[in-house]
Amino acid sequence: MIVVAFMPILILLAVFIAMSLLIKKSSRFGFGRGKIGLWMLMGYAALLVVSAVIFLAIPLGSTELKGQENDRDAERKSQQFYEAVQEGRLDEIEEWRIQEWSFPFDEEQLNLQVLENDVNGINLFIERTDDLTDTLEAFYFQTPLMINGYEVEEKYMPALSMDMATLSVYPGEKLNLKYKMFGSEFPFRLFDEEGGYAWGDTTVSHWNGSALYIRVPEGLDVVADQNAYTEVGPS
Amino acid sequence: MSLIEVQTSEVVKKQIGYKWKAYTGVFTSLVVIQILGLLFSLNGSGSMGSGRTGYDVNITYYTADIVVGFTIFWGFLTAFLLTTKAYREDDFAFVTNRKTSTLSTIAFLFMICVIGALTALLSSFALKLLAYFMLPGEEILLTQGVGDVGPWLIGMLATFLIVFLFSSLGYLAGMIVQLNKMLVIILPVVVVGLMILLYRSGFQVQVYFFEFFFEESNAWLFTLKTLAATTIFYALAVLVSNRLEVKQ
Amino acid sequence: MKAIKCKDLNKRFYRKNALNDLSFSIEENKIVGVIGRNGAGKTTLLKIIAGLLKEKSGIVEVYGRRPFNNLFVSANTIYIDDAMNFPAALTLKEILEEGKRFYHQWDHDLALRLFDYFGFDPKQLHNELSKGKESTFNMIVGLASRSPLTIFDEPTTGMDAAVRKDFYRALLKDYLAHPRTILLSTHHLEEMEDLLEEVLVIHEGASRLHTSMDDLKEYGVGLTGKKNVVDSLLIEKEIIWIKEQAFDSCYAVIKNDFTDQEYRRMQEAGIQVSPVKANDLCIYLTESEHGKGSVDDVFDRSADV
């Protein structure tokens, strides 16, 4: 551990000594002899220019990342989302529907079993409706995960299974997303009026809303932990 | 033999050409230190993990900040070493005086700082290209401004100004040290000691320094500030150098 | 106009006085040898003249201007010593080209011919040269620069006898074709006798003697004879050096201002009169005044113990 703590200092020290040896005239290690320096520079510069050209030629889907401002946007959106869910206005959140299930059901009592792991809590909403008889309907809604304005395309959804009178909600397969983010160097960020875009500002929006919305026939007895779900009454 | 009158400007010009040829070693160190910086940067300048409902997001952040940092350091050290006796005596092999010697060295430092800043920023593309092709991670997130010419030029200017500013600091420090070798130890001790003393009395020099230069969001003001500081440091170095003898 | 003028020149290094009220002047277009023991202040003087060091007090003028930090003096002066510092990145050929760029009167043709004659490799680097080769190369730079004031400080360090001879000839030929002021400090005065026009003898930071080479050869005279006889002759004479020898005789070097009559008297008294070589004279002139005598005394004393 102690070595790790001193690593930056050691590296800097090593760099300092190496540089001094390289530049110092009398040094025998120095490459300062002959024209090597100029050739190295030219080769290096050529390499850099070529890589710049290639990099700019690659069709990269450039995403304008927005940072903090976008986060406020997401917060508003998520509030709207939950309001809509609470009030059962499913048509408003249609665009965020990811999956729907339908189970035939003719029991009088529904056992709701929610398997949660410690990270993924699934927001459950239950609506009793006259529309349905002998059927359960479930929808999974989720507003997209945003990384500074970049919309993550991969969608997460929980798994549902029906067994006799028990509806089990399993957390879905966790999505491991790995991204490479290319930032601009700090001199570029100096004059940005909005304080620039710095690494520290990167936010994976935690405002994304998700809801498992289950519609059950009117009068069905739902047995579950009281905190597991929210009863939704459409206005 | 007839005596020749020479112009300062003429000698300075000749010396710039001379130094350009003679001090190619500085480019070796530039290339080495930037490649070193690139290797460090390949690890990612930062990495962020984030868990959300059903998601485990890991973002590795790539930027050539380390290369730029190393280049600033290189500017300081190169200027520092150019003040050492071995390099100063090179000047005095041919026609010169302290004024032309210092002026041509500053002009030379100016040029190599431009080159250093340019390659440092270009290395950012090389880094990203390497990261793009070689390193794991499915998707690429770009922040703004990559490949835009306007901001790039301003960033280039800023990088150069910073490198040049630090080169002037290195040059001044080097000249002061040349007055007396003991100052190699005394100077850092005094500077750090003063900073600590001022810190105790509630004035943080380094914070003020960084705020003064690097939290200036107006490009013109930034240019003005750095150039003014650079000029002051170089002028002080010239004053010191006029006290130096060449060969002992 | 005088090429060089010094008056009451002083220089101090930390604790030691390097130059002590040194005064002399040198006319234009002369070859002047600067002679002195190790540590006499020759190099210090030459560096002050070249503008590389700053005098502590007194006046020093090169072509009427103070040399320290002076571009005019630098442009018209070249200072060559055995510790010339050329950039490590430049090849020998490139160093010559730089010389051509800097010195207006540079004779590149001469430089290249000398370069070939001494068998240099154009691609070689300066710091890879042997001591003798390095001195030879520096000498080429000094000659080719054709500076109105050319200063060689111990130019022959490490050169073998043949190269030294070539150097003296090259210097003389080039000087005759293009007269200029040349200052040479050397330990090989006997080899340079035919080359030098004037000699400046420096002793303990002061000018001991400044005269023409011809006068220097005649300057002193050596007397050998019985001690009491010689002593009687030395009254009211300027004794430069005296050494007692075996059998009660002694050898004295005195300034040569005897009249013909005095010569005759000396011969009658059985004193041998011999000329003193310039080189020996310089050694006698710069003998330490604290009476250390010669190195022989060191061994004599240790024999006593």
Which pLDDT tens digit goes with each residue over B140-191?
666 655 557 777 888 888 899 999 999 999 999 988 888 877 777 888 888 8
The domain boundary, picked from C181, C204, C227, lies at C204
* A 187-206 residues with CB < 8 A to B: 187-188, 190-193, 195, 197, 199, 202, 204, 206
Residue A8 has pLDDT above 80, yes or no: no
**What is the rounded average pLDDT for all residues in chain A?**
73
In this prediction the pTM is 0.81
E strand or H helix at A211:
strand A210-217
Same domain, C22 and C110: yes
Same domain, C259 and C114: no
Decide if C125 and A33 are in contact by the 8 Å CB cutoff. yes
Decide if B126 and A47 are in contact by the 8 Å CB cutoff. yes
Per-residue pLDDT reduced to its tens digit, A161-217 = 888 778 888 777 777 878 777 777 777 777 665 444 555 555 666 667 788 888 888
Same domain, C245 and C198: no
Residue A108 has pLDDT above 60, yes or no: yes
Decide if A22 and B25 are in contact by the 8 Å CB cutoff. yes
Per-residue pLDDT reduced to its tens digit, C263-282 = 787 777 777 788 888 888 88
Q: Which residue type is seen at A5?
A: A
Per-residue pLDDT reduced to its tens digit, C154-187 = 888 888 889 888 988 999 999 999 899 999 988 7
Q: Note the pLDDT of residue A31.
A: 45
Q: Note the pLDDT of residue A61.
A: 58
Per-residue pLDDT reduced to its tens digit, C71-92 = 888 888 899 988 788 887 888 8
Domain boundaries, chain A: 2-57, 68-174+192-232
Whole-number CA gyration radius for chain B: 22
Using CA of residue A187, residue A188, residue A193, residue A195, what is the dihedral sign?
negative
Per-residue pLDDT reduced to its tens digit, C18-28 = 888 888 888 88
- Residues C130 and C110: their CA atoms lie apart, in Å, by 22
Same domain, C243 and C192: no
**What is the rounded average pLDDT for all residues in chain B?**
82
Residue of B35, B56, B90 lying closest to A174 (CB–CB): B56
Q: Note the pLDDT of residue B245.
A: 64
Percent of chain C with pLDDT over 90: 10
Q: Note the pLDDT of residue B110.
A: 94
Decide if C74 and B247 are in contact by the 8 Å CB cutoff. no
Question: Mind telling me how many Å the CA of C118 is from chain B's nearest CA?
Answer: 21
Q: Residue for token digits 């500002």? A: A201
- Residues A23 and B25: their CA atoms lie apart, in Å, by 6
Q: How far apart are the first and last CA of chain C?
A: 59
Question: Mind telling me how many Å the CA of C138 is from chain A's nearest CA?
Answer: 19
**Distance of alpha carbon C201 from the chain centroid:** 7
Please tell me whether residue B242 adopts helix, strand or coil conformation. Answer: coil
Number of neighbours of residue A161 by Cβ within 10 angstroms: 12
Domain containing C22: what range? 4-204
Same domain, C140 and C249: no
Residue C300 domain-assigned? no
Same domain, C249 and C196: no
Decide if C89 and B242 are in contact by the 8 Å CB cutoff. no
Please tell me whether residue C113 adopts helix, strand or coil conformation. Answer: helix
**Numbered residues of chain B with Cβ closer than 8 Å to any chain C Cβ:** 1-6, 8, 11, 14, 17-18, 21-25, 86, 89-90, 92-100, 242, 245-248
Chain B hits for C180, CB-CB cut-off 8 Å, are 1
- The residue among A36 and B147 whose pLDDT is bigger is A36
Residue C210 domain-assigned? no
Decide if B139 and A60 are in contact by the 8 Å CB cutoff. no
Q: For residue C280, what is the domain's CATH number?
A: 3.30.70.240
Q: How far apart are the first and last CA of chain A?
A: 60
Q: Note the pLDDT of residue B166.
A: 92
Nearest residue in B to A151, CA atom: B141
Residue C209 domain-assigned? no
Please say whether the beta carbons of C272 and C233 come within 8 A.
no
Q: Note the pLDDT of residue B137.
A: 65
**What is the rounded average pLDDT for all residues in chain C?**
83
Tokens of A118: 């410690």
Banded model confidence at residue A30, pLDDT cuts 50, 70, 90: very low
Residue C9 domain-assigned? yes
Q: Note the pLDDT of residue C268.
A: 78
Residue C252 domain-assigned? yes
Task: Give mean pLDDT, residues C53-70.
Answer: 86
Same domain, C183 and C243: no
ipTM: 0.83
- Residues C94 and C113: their CA atoms lie apart, in Å, by 15
Q: Note the pLDDT of residue C305.
A: 47
| CA nearest to A103, candidates A226, A214, A232 | A214
Tokens of A24: 């110092």
Per-residue pLDDT reduced to its tens digit, B115-132 = 999 999 899 888 888 888
Burial environment of residue A140 by CB neighbours within 10 A (0 to 12, 13 to 18, 19 or more): buried
Q: Note the pLDDT of residue A7.
A: 64
Same domain, C25 and C140: yes
User: For the packed helices A2-23 and B65-82, what is the interaxial angle rounded to 10 degrees?
Assistant: 50
Q: How far apart are the first and last CA of chain B?
A: 29
Q: Residue for token digits 């408003």? A: A92
Q: Does B53 touch chain A (CB under 8 A)?
A: yes
Please state the length of chain A. 235
